Amino acid sequence: MTYRLALFDIAGTTVSDPGFVAQAFVGAMTAAGHPIDHEACRPLMGYPKPLAIARLLGGQADEATIKLIHEDFVQRMLVCYREWPGIEPLPGAESIFALLRANGIKVALNTGFSRDIADAIVERLGWADRIDALIASDEVAEGRPAPHMARALMQRLGIDDPAQLVKIGDTEVDIGEGRSARAGLVVSITTGAYTRAELEPHQPDRIIDSLFELPALLGIATDPRSAAA
């Protein structure tokens, strides 16, 4: 199979997340009078954040409360990604991007974050010239696990065959997105929210422990450590 687009998740897949996302969820929920613990957030990583908030609220969810908490969450994440230390590429991310592009595979990022947060991450890391496209969950009718972000990127980049798409992510919802988009290869990675044991029941095509393992899955023999960062 010839792959033409590698679609990567952001937090936990290509960018380190030292617990900042969960911390922002806990802070925003607590400030609104709905305290939760960090563990409650983990199963919802990767989902569009308003949906994640609605699920955390359960029967107490209403549109106004969800909007209030999401706005607080966004502001907390913007401060985090613009100012806090510890925001950096995961090992191999930049060299893998370069290697894939050198081999004719476009590189795109998508996320359950809103576009303002995604832009803050890309700007902080200086990735605008290292990727071919970026899309966020608030730019489509429905975020992951629906296929809308993946399909929008394929259309933007001129890719008609979903079998030429590779989806890479660290959560259950990334796997769901890959399946719903009919991606030719769905790859899970253990650097983020889920362990290998937690990913296995969701049956991705492959599970890797490092981005350095990805090129071999795509038939690229070059050692990615030799690619320019």
How far apart are the C-alpha atoms of 54 and 58, rounded to whole Å?
6
3-state SS track over the chain: CCCCEEEECCECCCECCCCHHHHHHHHHHHHCCCCCCHHHHHHHCCCCHHHHHHHHHHHHCCHHHHHHHHHHHHHHHHHHHHHCCCCCECCCHHHHHHHHHHCCCEEEEEECCCHHHHHHHHHHHCCCCCCCEEEEHHHCCCCCCCCHHHHHHHHHCCCCCHHHEEEEECCHHHHHHHHHCCCCEEEEECCCCCCHHHHHHHCCCEEECCHHHHHHHCCCCCCHHHCCC
- Following CA atoms 124, 144, 167, 193 in sequence, which dihedral angle do they give, to the nearest 10 degrees? 70
How far apart are the C-alpha atoms of 88 and 73, rounded to whole Å?
20
- State residue 43's pLDDT score: 86
Q: Name which of 8, 5, 214 is nearest 101 in CA terms.
A: 5
How far apart are the C-alpha atoms of 15 and 12, rounded to whole Å?
6
Tell me which residue has tokens 């933007």: 156
Instruction: Show the domains of the chain with their CATH numbers.
Output: 5-16+89-226 (3.40.50.1000), 20-83 (1.10.150.240)
CA angle 55, 52, 26 (to 5 degrees): 95
- State residue 76's pLDDT score: 95
Low-confidence ranges of the chain (pLDDT < 70): 222-229
Q: What is the pTM of this model?
A: 0.90
- State residue 61's pLDDT score: 85
CA angle 185, 202, 183 (to 5 degrees): 20
Q: What is the tens place of the pLDDT at every residue in 129-161?
A: 999 999 999 999 999 999 999 999 999 999 999
